[in-house]
Amino acid sequence: MARPYSWTEGRTQPSVEIAIEAQVQTTRAGNSVPPNATSPLWTVMQLCYETRSVAEIAAHMGVPPGVVKVLVADLLNEGLVVVHATLGEDTSLAERRDLIERVLIGLRAQ
């Protein structure tokens, strides 16, 4: 098995800012990509047929969230996934805490 940072060619910063709680979903174009079980990008797209957070993807793949952020950013730039922000400028502190709690519950369920 390759080291996760080799999947990102050593890059540790995504080309676009992506929050750990952001929801990722494979697009129609991503759904039509031929299977490649050895590709971490294909694995992310497969996981995101069902919308998942960056944290969930990292947990499923067993890699650091930073690696997933780089992979998701690459897929986003190719139009193979969409990223749905979960927090806005006007999000209250209570809503932010609720989101964090839901993410933690989801990660523990894995």
- DSSP string for residues in 22-46: -EEEE-HHHHTSPP-TT-HHHHHHH
For residue 8, the enclosing domain spans 4-109
Given a cut of 60, is residue 1 above it in pLDDT?
no
How many domains does the chain fold into?
1
Given a cut of 70, is residue 89 above it in pLDDT?
yes
pLDDT of residue 54: 93
Given a cut of 70, is residue 93 above it in pLDDT?
yes
User: Is 57:83 a contact under the CB 8 Å cutoff?
Assistant: no
Q: What is the pTM of this model?
A: 0.80
Q: What's the number of CA atoms in the CB half-sphere (13 Å) around residue 47?
A: 24
